[in-house]
Structure 1
Amino acid sequence: MDYPFSEEHRIFRKTVRRFVEEELNPHVDEWEAAGIFPKDVYRRMGELGLLGIRFDERYGGAGADIWSSVVFCEEMGRCRSRGLTMSVLVHTDMSSPYLYKYGSEALKQRYLPALIRGEKVAAIALTEPGGGSDLAAIKTTAKKKGAQYLLTGSKTFITNALNADLFFVACKTDPGAGHRGISMLIVERGTPGFEIQKLPKKLGMHASDTGELFFENCPVPADNLIGEENQGFYYIMQGLQNERFASCVAATSSAQQALEDAIKYAQERELFGKKLSEFQITRHKFAKLQTKLEAARQLLYHAARLIEAGEDATMIVSMCKAFCADVACEVADECLQIHGGYGYIEEYDIARFYRDIRLWKIGAGTTEVMYEIIAKRMGI
């Protein structure tokens, strides 16, 4: 189905898919084993114009629409390293948009062009050791002293921690004001009082470098404040919609790829004298999964239309995050089962997909939090 994609979108899709298939997928085993991928990947993506799709051309972006972002996320979702996909989306859709939407013009001029060219890598630092979903309870503080803030505290589960040059850090500038006292600062790697430590090996998303951040009276220029002081919570609540949307577009595309892989395997695998795909139970299982994936995709496209129209998409995006993550995890489980014992070893991509996809029910807001948001929007 062509709608809602134009010829320009289709050409762009081919560009991203070719990049993923030719320049990423041949190397994912190496990068997964290393637990990180080269920063040159960002530079190459910058050369191809993939890192600032919806940012204004005056900063080096493409000035494209929401559907171009959908295409990008769908095609990045077909990377055989979902960890790499997540790291890239943290840069493009979960960190730098705060600067583009809320940053001062001087701050944009200083950092955005380098982020769009892939010369600098971005990370978002919200989660702390004491909690993730309850943003209002963060304990990292930033005390104003002259023309700078002194940042003290810690963050954990930070994607791109080892590769990032710029960290978008949520902190309390008014600790006594709860969520009304949160601000966001851009902190550069190498700032005195700022240390980074790699986290132990994760269940999945291995090529995505993940770490902890430690700040001890870390001096940050006051000019590095994103938007207004004590308005960070509201910026983040808006930014999380973008994060959740991008992540579940990629997750749904990854799940579609996993289903395609399982179908191909079933068409080749023989059991009791016939192909596995010839058994009715197998074909019906595939049909059920494809139906759920199509429902997930259409829900995502509905959210995209709301975003395109400038309407509040919070409830629908929350539905997307909960539903798409559930469907993707169901696809992982069922497709691994189709592979039998071969699904339990690393010879086939389904094992990695099974490990990787589970994060989407946790990251960017757990499924439980999504249902709470939906319930509140329902007035219950």
Structure 2
Amino acid sequence: MILNRHADEEDPQITQIRQSVIALCANFPGEYWRELDSKREYPTAFVKALTDAGYLAVLIPEEYGGSGLGLNAAAAVLEEIQRSGCNGAACHAQMYIMGTILRHGNAAQKAKWLPKIASGELRLQAFGVSEPSNGTDTLSLKTRAVKKGDHYIVNGQKIWTSRAEHSDLMLLLARTATPEEAGSRSAGLSVFVVDMREALGNGMTIKPIRTMVNHSTTQVFFDDMKVPAENLLGEEGRGFRYILTGMNAERVLIGAETIGDARWFIQKAVDYANNRQVFGRPISMNQGIQFPIAKAYAQTEAASLMVQKAARLYEQGKDIGAEANMAKMLAAEASWAAADMCLQTHGGYGFAEEYDVERKFRETRLYQIAPISTNLILSYLAEHVLGMPRSY
């Protein structure tokens, strides 16, 4: 395996986490993922193994049964999952969704949900934000939650709600007041924890969306769904602010995942090139093979530094809007470049399922679009960092 240069400078605890995750992932080789991919099945055994080992609870404080570690630890977990050829998309949401409960939930809510999330008794994998008509324009969402007595009545629809069929709880963003009533587009949005075990069939309907990757994504419909008022997180109308910090953490963690993907592609290409004999010698002797691999490696190392910086600043409590966006964009671009290079290095064999390249190629392509597209990141940087006019 291509080692991380200067790995001795890393926190020994993070290094130990990496080694332990690698050992766990060795129990879930390519054959496991290929079978799931062909059947479009959820990796239940893999997620259970991660949960039992405590890796999905690294960000949950020790008082609630977690490890109480920082974003760097969570990033290391997800990077090594991807670097091992596995797919953390099946469970990564729990890490960043949980933060909204931790930061904005009251004492009773934290005590009710966090210990069970940490132990695996409750799965918090569903994040209901995107809607068919608004895409990334979150402030235009139309799902309404109207308070009636001790409940809110929710009506609307969400799309691209991944893992909804494999989650017990959903973090739901809904409008509790119109922009006119609230005074601005960013006000009037509220966050709820929905117990999907109670809601499914009682106002909630889930419809799977089949895609080019095995991502377990869905549409979710709400028809007079009742949510207890006690499940409102924080203050009514401040939900958009609450989810923003979670979105920054999400982008850093997705950045770490795609760094892991890139390193998997690079290692795969190096191994294949060194062993593939054409015209009586390994193809790795050709600069036409060497240079794209070396370029992908350099691009990945540079992007990794941005991910590390964003995670460090997040742990320091800094505003990392720009850094989180750059980390996600640069890492996703590095992984996509590495994926293309790896497929090209393998030639026709890259399209054969048994090599896993085509599967990982499809999986990493997603992050040019999700959870935020490259163009929107560039627009954000132009406006909020460089002081240029808003372009949309």
TM-score (norm 2): 0.91
Q: Which residue of 1 aligns with 2:119?
A: 117
Q: What's the offset of the Cα at 1:104? A: 1.4
Asked if the contact 2:263/2:300 (under 8 Å) is kept, the reply is yes
Structure 1 residues 25 and 216 mapped into 2: Cα distance closer, same or farther (>3 Å)? same
Q: Number of paired residues?
A: 374
Tell me which of 229, 254, 257 is aligned to 2:261: 254
Deviates more, 1:209-218 or 1:47-56: 47-56
Q: Which residue of 1 aligns with 2:81?
A: 76
Structure 2 alignment gaps of length 5 or more = 1-5
1-side partners of 2:140 and 2:9: how far apart?
A: 41
Query: Which string of whole-angstrom CA distances, capped at 9 and with x for unpartnered residues, describes residues 309-363 of structure 1?
Result: 2221111111111111112111111110111111122121111111111110111
* RMSD between aligned residues: 1.6
SS in 1 for 2:166: coil
Aligned residues with identical type, % of pairs: 29
Asked if the contact 2:207/2:218 (under 8 Å) is kept, the reply is yes
Query: Which string of whole-angstrom CA distances, capped at 9 and with x for unpartnered residues, describes residues 262-320 of structure 1?
Result: 11111111222221100012112211111101101111112122123222111111111
Q: Which residue of 2 aligns with 1:346?
A: 353
Structure 1 residues 309 and 96 mapped into 2: Cα distance closer, same or farther (>3 Å)? closer
SS in 2 for 1:131: coil
After TM superposition, the structure 1 = structure 2 runs for residues 298-377 of structure 1, keeping only pairs within 5 Å, are 298-376=305-383, 377=385
1-side partners of 2:49 and 2:287: how far apart?
A: 46
Instruction: Supply the AA of the counterpart residue of 2:186.
Output: H
Structure 2 residue 79 is matched with structure 1 residue 104: no
SS in 2 for 1:143: strand
Asked if the contact 2:307/2:328 (under 8 Å) is kept, the reply is no
Instruction: Supply the AA of the counterpart residue of 1:196.
Output: I
SS in 1 for 2:170: strand
Asked if the contact 1:179/1:233 (under 8 Å) is kept, the reply is yes
SS in 1 for 2:122: coil
TM-score (norm 1): 0.94
Asked if the contact 1:51/1:117 (under 8 Å) is kept, the reply is no
Instruction: Supply the AA of the counterpart residue of 1:87.
Output: A
Q: What's the offset of the Cα at 1:24? A: 6.3
1-side partners of 2:309 and 2:299: how far apart?
A: 15
Q: What's the offset of the Cα at 1:165? A: 0.8
Q: What's the offset of the Cα at 1:73? A: 1.7
Tell me which of 173, 176, 180 is aligned to 1:173: 176
Tell me which of 108, 129, 135 is aligned to 1:132: 135
Instruction: Supply the AA of the counterpart residue of 2:381.
Output: I
2-side partners of 1:66 and 1:125: how far apart?
A: 23
After TM superposition, the structure 1 = structure 2 runs for residues 1-380 of structure 1, keeping only pairs within 5 Å, are 1-2=6-7, 4-23=9-28, 27-82=32-87, 85-93=88-96, 95-122=97-124, 123-176=126-179, 177=182, 178-189=185-196, 190-191=198-199, 192-199=202-209, 201-204=210-213, 206=214, 208-376=215-383, 377-380=385-388
Deviation beyond 4 Å, 4+ runs, structure 1: 23-26
Structure 1 alignment gaps of length 5 or more = none
Asked if the contact 2:85/2:264 (under 8 Å) is kept, the reply is no
SS in 1 for 2:309: helix
Q: What's the offset of the Cα at 1:38? A: 4.8
Q: What's the offset of the Cα at 1:55? A: 1.5
Asked if the contact 2:100/2:242 (under 8 Å) is kept, the reply is yes
SS in 1 for 2:186: helix
1-side partners of 2:190 and 2:8: how far apart?
A: 40
Structure 1 residues 143 and 24 mapped into 2: Cα distance closer, same or farther (>3 Å)? farther
Q: What's the offset of the Cα at 1:34? A: 2.8
2-side partners of 1:37 and 1:162: how far apart?
A: 9
Asked if the contact 1:46/1:118 (under 8 Å) is kept, the reply is yes
Asked if the contact 1:98/1:239 (under 8 Å) is kept, the reply is yes
